[in-house]
Amino acid sequence: NIPLDFKSVEEKWTKRWSAAKLKGASLTSNVSDRSRNANKYYILSMFPYPSGMLHMGHVRVYTISDTLARFRRMLGYEVIHPMGWDAFGLPAENAAIERGVSPADWTRNNIATMKEQMAMILTDFDWDREVTTCDPAYYKWTQRIFIDLYNAGLAYRKNATVNWDPVDQTVLANEQVDHEGRSWRSGAVVEKKKLKQWFFKITDFAEELLEDLAKLDRWPERVKQMQRHWISKSRGAEFIFPLAQGQPISVFTSRPDTIYGVQYIAISPEHHIAIESAKSNPDVAAYINSLDVTAKDHEDRDKLGVFTGAYAKHPFNHSDIPIWVSSYVVSDYGTGAVMGVPAHDERDWAFCQRNHVVDKPKFVVRPMQTNDGEGTFENAPYTGLGQLNEASGEFHGMTSNDAMHAIVNKAVKESVGNWTTKYRLRDWLLSRQRYWGAPIPMIHCPECDVVPVPVQDLPVKLPKNAPLTGKGGSPLSQDQEWVNCTCPKCGGPAKRDTDTMDTFVDSSWYYMRYVDPHNRNEPFDADKASHYLPVDIYIGGVEHAILHLLYARFLTKSLHKIGLFDDSLSPPKGHAEPFTTLLTQGMVHGMTFKDPVTQRFLKPEEVEKTPSGEPIIKATGESPLVSFEKMSKSKYNGVDPKTTIRTHGADATRLHILYKAPPSEVLEWEDDSIIGMRRWLNRVYNLARHAEGTFNPTSPKLETAQMTKEEKDLYRFTNLTIQSVTKSLSQDFGFNTAIADLIKLTNHIMALPELLNIASSPVYAHSLQSLVTMMAPMAPSVGEECWELLTKHGSTSIFAQTWPTFDENGIRVDEFNCTVQVNGKMRFIQQTPIELLEKGQELEQYLKSSAGGAKWLHDGQNIVKAIHVQGGKVVNFIVKP
């Protein structure tokens, strides 16, 4: 056996592949012939941010998508497997601020580095489809899409209280603020600021985005649940509370049965009545002003409120209801006003107690069984459903559910309310006061207000000279030459919008650009989009479950709606969903050592291994605590893909990634276990070397009649392997089981008595060919090398081979007809596996447990003996009565 020199094998094939590509993909030419009329298969891995460093997480995604792409091509699909760069965003701008390099140069260099790293893991991306979001040739179309959405009424500008990140000096979308009120990127506590901002009307699609989740049967349930929760649909009622003068206040409630328990109304500080009231009421003004100052301690702020001095009328009993202002009422949910029912709502209870709104909660619903729950503020609100008490007049005695209907019916009749549906989903705020993004292609004219940049003037390129300081809002506004322009409508002096778009806009449509990346007239050709979309499988991190995946769904639906493409050509019809299957890969965790005494994380060099392989701390001789955790600098548990590939080779690294855990689970990285994959590659390589010169490629299906018993066995084993590996790779992404199956096949081949008798056995050739072919998508360079050894030099690439087909005949076990007699009388004929011929007792047992046996040879009978005739083709059971 010769050890495989993986380094030179990798180098050799990387060179050959790129040479072949340069010559016009001659390497896989017969693949494209084969797929001319085939079904398309669009494999997409989430494009990376060009940070300059490929980490193990990247290696994992790209290994998965590359394996699937090679596999599907061999199956005969027209595969597209593109790659690009999510290249706008803050790190480039921060690098510019810190180190004075231009964001464009920084990004370009990082892309070059990462491209090399991607080549190191032998990925075969369609580089002719590459897109880079910071390239004017790309963001021209991002801007065009913005204008299209604007023209369709799906982009609009409004004054809004926005989330302001004081560290990154920019506005954040709601989705980018975590539940503690911190920025997803900088971690800073987010402040509130009032700014005029651009929004996409994602709320127009709230129902569709929610409904269509049901169609995504190949998405992880967890991701769909997170989206459902984010959109959060709520059924309830709206009630109108008239005022002595002016517009009435409308409230949204999920509990119309508590209408008689209303003791106050609370409106958000941004409600027009609050703003109006602040003009004449200094207390209200002071309260509202205090909100900006104390913006940081969310908690306390939301418990306080102020009485406006005004009253509304209860819609049914016309009693006076005091109107309060409090920031616990969210301005952009429901109607921005709530009917306060302290007796039955936790928050209203707490609010009343803290601000002394009323003396005593008014209970209107009691639990069905008991009288519990009524009392003073010393007790607790009763938030469950139940039965209405005498406080609800004509509804006294009804259950909550019945009362809700009766009460809303009455409200409808009296025109003071109705059923309604609300969503928690907010419109997508996309203005960013940063430099490194696509400029918003709008012009502000003192005469004409907002005017889109004419399409023929796109792209609005980023100015080269904007000062980057990270302080004080939009850098673009500092470049006066860039800002001042002419109004396209009236020709007067005007100014450009100085904000850039949220980078999530760039990434919400990149997979559409991939289908037609060089189009100079439109974002993409409608027919091409209809052909290639939706993406068949999308692979990426679960951290994008809401933001990116929801935005992408919204963009697909809105572009579909305005007619940029028609998905009716590609199944499933009328889908308007971007990604059919979603595979969320798990994280890669690194081996982490901790000192059990000091609890300090240990560097790998502080730990050594005993001869038996146990880790010990060099300094103390003690055993460290060992765990697997998310890789991080502070835990010294990072693994650099480059080092691993240099030590073990790209193929072994890929195999290890695929073998160690199912793709959606956490992968615990252990360098040691790569050795197993190297050994396997070595074995396959040596099998191929042994067959060099004598191997003849075989037809996919062989005649079993002439085979020896060993050949039949091998053929059967091979076909079972083909069947299961094909299923693993095409249906459940069980790469680990596929590899395990292929290792078993390798062992089976190696255990054959006559390893060398290859030339004479097409069955053996078939097995070897199948093994090497099925291994190739996962271990491409060793796959090629083996194939070249087998087929001699100058032949075509293994990736131009067709995937082995499964031969149903090959797994059929041979059978014979056994004639069964009882006391010499023929009773039944039983199909019996050939192995049981001449196997006295085993054969008898098999016949007894057959259907015929159950009838004629059942337990109660006393079988004395069995006589085997013709070596067992006839069996005569002698039974005593």
Among the listed ranges 45-53, 254-262, 446-454, 794-802, the one in contact with Zn ion (CB under 5 A) is 446-454
Among the listed ranges 86-94, 437-445, 461-469, 558-566, the one in contact with Zn ion (CB under 5 A) is 437-445
Judged by CB under 6 A, the chain residues 401 through 440 that form the site for ligand ANZ are: 422
With CB under 6 A as the contact rule, the residue among 27, 329, 416, 818 that binds ligand ANZ is 329
Among the listed ranges 27-35, 241-249, 269-277, 479-487, the one in contact with Zn ion (CB under 5 A) is 479-487
Complex with Zn ion: residue 362 or 489, whichever CB lies closer? 489
Helices (H), 256-399: 272-280, 282-293, 298-301, 346-355
Burial class (CB in 10 A: 0-12, 13-18, 19+), 27: buried
Residue 834 interacting with Zn ion (CB under 5 A)? no
Residue 798 interacting with ligand ANZ (CB under 6 A)? no
The residue type at 342: P
Q: CB-based contacts of 849: which residues, under 8 Å, 6+ apart?
A: none
With CB under 5 A as the contact rule, the residue among 462, 487, 505, 742 that binds Zn ion is 487
Complex with Zn ion: residue 257 or 497, whichever CB lies closer? 497
Whose CA is closest to 589, among 51, 60, 46? 60
Binding mask 316-335 for Zn ion (x = CB under 5 A): --------------------
Whose CA is closest to 243, among 194, 315, 293? 315
With CB under 6 A as the contact rule, the residue among 270, 345, 479, 516 that binds ligand ANZ is 345
Residue 489 interacting with Zn ion (CB under 5 A)? yes
Contact 524, 565 (CB under 8 A): yes
Contact 192, 292 (CB under 8 A): yes
What is the rounded CA–CA span in Å between residue 27 and residue 398? 77
Of these partners, Zn ion, ligand ANZ, none, which one is at the site of residue 489 (CB under 5 to 8 Å by kind)?
A: Zn ion
Helix, strand or coil, per DSSP, at residue 345: coil
Size of the site for ligand ANZ (CB under 6 A): 18
Sequence length of the chain is 881
With CB under 6 A as the contact rule, the residue among 334, 373, 459, 641 that binds ligand ANZ is 334
How distant, in Å, are the alpha carbons of 439, 476, 500 from that of 435? Answer: 8, 6, 7
What is the rounded CA–CA span in Å between residue 537 and residue 533? 11
Quote the least distance from Cβ 206 to ligand ANZ, whole Å: 13
φ/ψ of 519, rounded to 5, equals -60, 125
Long-range contacts of 632-638 (CB under 8 A, 24+ apart): 634/601, 635/590, 635/592, 635/601, 636/592, 636/593, 636/601, 636/602, 636/603, 636/604, 637/589, 637/590, 637/591, 637/592, 637/593, 637/601, 638/55, 638/590
Of these partners, ligand ANZ, Zn ion, none, which one is at the site of residue 258 (CB under 5 to 8 Å by kind)?
A: ligand ANZ
Residue 447 interacting with Zn ion (CB under 5 A)? yes
Of these partners, Zn ion, ligand ANZ, none, which one is at the site of residue 339 (CB under 5 to 8 Å by kind)?
A: ligand ANZ
Quote the least distance from Cβ 256 to ligand ANZ, whole Å: 8
Residue 11 interacting with Zn ion (CB under 5 A)? no
With CB under 5 A as the contact rule, the residue among 455, 490, 854, 867 that binds Zn ion is 490
**Angle at CA 685, nearest 5°, toward 681 and 686?**
120
With CB under 6 A as the contact rule, the residue among 195, 330, 385, 526 that binds ligand ANZ is 330
* Signed CA dihedral, 861, 866, 869, 872: sign only: positive
The residue type at 225: Q
Among the listed ranges 40-48, 190-198, 292-300, 490-498, the one in contact with Zn ion (CB under 5 A) is 490-498
Residue 680 interacting with ligand ANZ (CB under 6 A)? no
Enter the tokens of residue 476: 């673009």
What is the rounded CA–CA span in Å between residue 605 and residue 710? 52
What is the rounded CA–CA span in Å between residue 93 and residue 87? 11
Residue 493 interacting with Zn ion (CB under 5 A)? no
Q: What is the CA radius of gyration of the chain?
A: 36
What is the rounded CA–CA span in Å between residue 139 and residue 440? 10
What is the rounded CA–CA span in Å between residue 215 and residue 574? 11
Complex with Zn ion: residue 193 or 489, whichever CB lies closer? 489
Residue 388 interacting with ligand ANZ (CB under 6 A)? no
Q: Could you tell me the maximum CA-CA distance found in the chain, to the nearest angstrom?
A: 115
Quote the least distance from Cβ 210 to ligand ANZ, whole Å: 14
Residue 442 interacting with Zn ion (CB under 5 A)? no
Complex with Zn ion: residue 442 or 445, whichever CB lies closer? 445
Whose CA is closest to 766, among 687, 695, 852, 667? 695
Of these partners, ligand ANZ, Zn ion, none, which one is at the site of residue 447 (CB under 5 to 8 Å by kind)?
A: Zn ion
With CB under 6 A as the contact rule, the residue among 103, 336, 534, 853 that binds ligand ANZ is 336
The residue type at 361: P
Contact 781, 10 (CB under 8 A): yes
Residue 485 interacting with Zn ion (CB under 5 A)? no
Complex with Zn ion: residue 469 or 484, whichever CB lies closer? 484
Of these partners, ligand ANZ, Zn ion, none, which one is at the site of residue 550 (CB under 5 to 8 Å by kind)?
A: none
Complex with ligand ANZ: residue 117 or 253, whichever CB lies closer? 253
Whose CA is closest to 732, among 222, 218, 69? 218
Of these partners, Zn ion, ligand ANZ, none, which one is at the site of residue 445 (CB under 5 to 8 Å by kind)?
A: Zn ion
With CB under 6 A as the contact rule, the residue among 339, 453, 582, 782 that binds ligand ANZ is 339
Complex with Zn ion: residue 448 or 542, whichever CB lies closer? 448
Of these partners, ligand ANZ, Zn ion, none, which one is at the site of residue 346 (CB under 5 to 8 Å by kind)?
A: none
Residue 338 interacting with ligand ANZ (CB under 6 A)? yes
Residue 358 interacting with ligand ANZ (CB under 6 A)? no
Q: For residue 237, how many other CB atoms are within 10 A of its CB? A: 22
Of these partners, ligand ANZ, Zn ion, none, which one is at the site of residue 503 (CB under 5 to 8 Å by kind)?
A: none
Quote the least distance from Cβ 291 to ligand ANZ, whole Å: 15
With CB under 5 A as the contact rule, the residue among 445, 537, 552, 639 that binds Zn ion is 445
Residue 449 interacting with Zn ion (CB under 5 A)? no
Q: Residue-wise over 839-875: b if at least 16 C-beta within 10 A, else e?
A: eeeebbebbbebebbeebbeeeeeeeebebeeebebb
Quote the least distance from Cβ 151 to Zn ion, whole Å: 17
Of these partners, Zn ion, ligand ANZ, none, which one is at the site of residue 487 (CB under 5 to 8 Å by kind)?
A: Zn ion
Judged by CB under 6 A, the chain residues 220 through 259 that form the site for ligand ANZ are: 234, 236, 252-255, 258
Among the listed ranges 119-127, 151-159, 448-456, 714-722, the one in contact with Zn ion (CB under 5 A) is 448-456
Quote the least distance from Cβ 277 to ligand ANZ, whole Å: 18
Whose CA is closest to 534, among 584, 583, 573? 573
Of these partners, ligand ANZ, Zn ion, none, which one is at the site of residue 740 (CB under 5 to 8 Å by kind)?
A: none
Helix, strand or coil, per DSSP, at residue 63: helix
Among the listed ranges 281-289, 325-333, 625-633, 657-665, the one in contact with ligand ANZ (CB under 6 A) is 325-333
Among the listed ranges 221-229, 252-260, 315-323, 443-451, the one in contact with Zn ion (CB under 5 A) is 443-451
Quote the least distance from Cβ 407 to ligand ANZ, whole Å: 12
Helix, strand or coil, per DSSP, at residue 412: helix
Burial class (CB in 10 A: 0-12, 13-18, 19+), 684: buried
Residue 678 interacting with ligand ANZ (CB under 6 A)? no
Helices (H), 630-729: 641-648, 650-660, 674-691, 709-727
For binding to ligand ANZ (CB under 6 A), which residues are involved? 234, 236, 252-255, 258, 329-330, 333-334, 336, 338-339, 341, 344-345, 422
For binding to Zn ion (CB under 5 A), which residues are involved? 445, 447-448, 487, 489-490
